[in-house]
Structure 1
Amino acid sequence: MVPELSRQAEQLSAKLADLADGATLDVFPYVAAAVLETLLARSVAIVEEKFCKPWLWACGWLYRRTALYRDEARTLAELNAFSQEVIAQRACRRQEAAAGDSRDKQVVLDYLLAATESGGRLSETELQDEVNTLLSAGYETTATTICFALLLLGMYPRVQDNLVAELDAVFGDDPQRTPTAADLRRLHYLDAVIKETLRLFPPAPIIHREVETSELKIGGCTLPVGASVLVLSYSAHRHPDHFDSPQHFCPERFAEPRARPRHPYAYVPFGAGPRICVGRAYGLLLAKAAVAAVLRRLRVESRLSWQDLRG
């Protein structure tokens, strides 16, 4: 997937270069997929509003009488229409490839489509739900991570200088060369920058789990089977028991083995266990490709300080 990711990253950096005139720019609309931006942003807002009003999702008949429910129904219909188009286009490509000699590279959607064929394991509804999840989960999380990484690099010139030096070392022989998978693997400091960005600003700051098989005792409390548990990854990532100087942006903590978190679950930007994010490797790769492309072409600056973010 690296050639396609690199192509998209280069398009992003070229667009930002066209807009770079010394003024402050909100990069999120350009990093995010424009066709999905409004639709998924509204979907996230609806979920957040429901989350903060438990009487709505605990009382279905009441929720179905609200304007928020009607808004959710409209938004879901639009999202379903979009995902159906994506599925139909890929199914058509698969049929054309099967009828001819050409063969596309396999993507995630191919495996999902194969699971629906000939009475497979997934129904059509389940296939659409999977595609909706991939679209919504992958859209904002990766875009937000890229934006926070660029913001932090603009706030910390020393870190940006170190990263540019690494990029020069890898691409110095040909600054215009398209990155390969081997190139991205060599960018160890960039990997540390992305991981430190995810520590401070995890795209999923709250992770939901459910007590499934037996009651759970935590800190003198007993949680019964069926209880919901909210894991605050944002707080764990900033806890002094797990990280030295947790309120500082310091990519070196992930570049040096001795400075890494002391507990295996102290750092969970993608969750952990059987339900860990299936797109974590893809998301990291896309974030690295995007940040590398921008920093090879531009220098970023921010008028904000770390104190502004904490405020």
Structure 2
Amino acid sequence: MVEVQNLTKLFGTQAAVDAISFAVGKGEILGFLGPNGAGKSTTMKIATGYLPPSLGTVVVAGHDVQQAPLDVRRNVGYLPEHNPLYLDMYVHEYLEFIGAVHGLRGPALRQRVSQLVARVGLSREQNKQIGALSKGYRQRVGLAQALLHDPAVLILDEPTTGLDPNQIQEIRQLIRELGEDKTVIFSTHILPEVTALCSRAVIISRGRLVADAPVSELAARAAGETVIRAEFETAIDSTPLLALPGVRGVGMESGFLYRISADPGRDLRGDISRLAAQQGWVLLGLRQEQQSLEAIFGELTK
């Protein structure tokens, strides 16, 4: 649903985005990560038609952002990093105004606004002026406006900024539900959100793409190996384990707990389980170690 090819954005001689490429499909939630100034917001603004690219292409729902910008905007819901709202308007008034911009009218518009007010948790605040809302509730208004026209693609730049822990959980759940039938790209500095929500992450640094992989593989890639810990009822002969394709080494830790190192990105838990059954070993536990996403992020962007 979103295809980015060799995207470059120059400001003078500085490349804010430098020839990055990635694609996101329907039903996928992509975490878009990078340190401040990496080019995340610039990429999102190009994908939504707010900025023109210097080179490369972005295709959203089959429409090129330069050749068919209005078609792109009809298919995209966008919550920018700095949420622009009309602070003197009331919540309902503002959402009905945005809905009218998207062509909704009459009972259909009022019904859609009511649905979204309830869905994003604005029911108690809907009759207030936006300027009287907390930052967290303003974020909810911004998310509601991004969803009003039921877009196929959602691009969310720091969507949980200013929310309290309970609100964050609610918005995460909403994003999960939306990701079932939409394409969702969201950036965040709260790295546990990526682990909680995303099957895949794209990381950029200084405008360049440094990683595009399932979240589960990033840890192994950053660490240079996959680590699996297997606990058996008694000591075992590790020779058969060492013979498994991809295994680099086997070491015994406390008790009958074994540390098995393997090639990066290899998940050998199934092979180890089957081997244990063949050898008659009683397997008490089997888990693959995960390096923290913070450590991975630091390693890839330092």
| TM-score bracket relative to the smaller structure | under 0.3
Structure with greater helix percent: 1
Structure with greater strand percent: 2
TM-score normalized with structure 1 length = 0.27
Higher relative CO (Cα under 8 Å, sequence separation at least 6) belongs to: 1
TM-score normalized with structure 2 length = 0.27
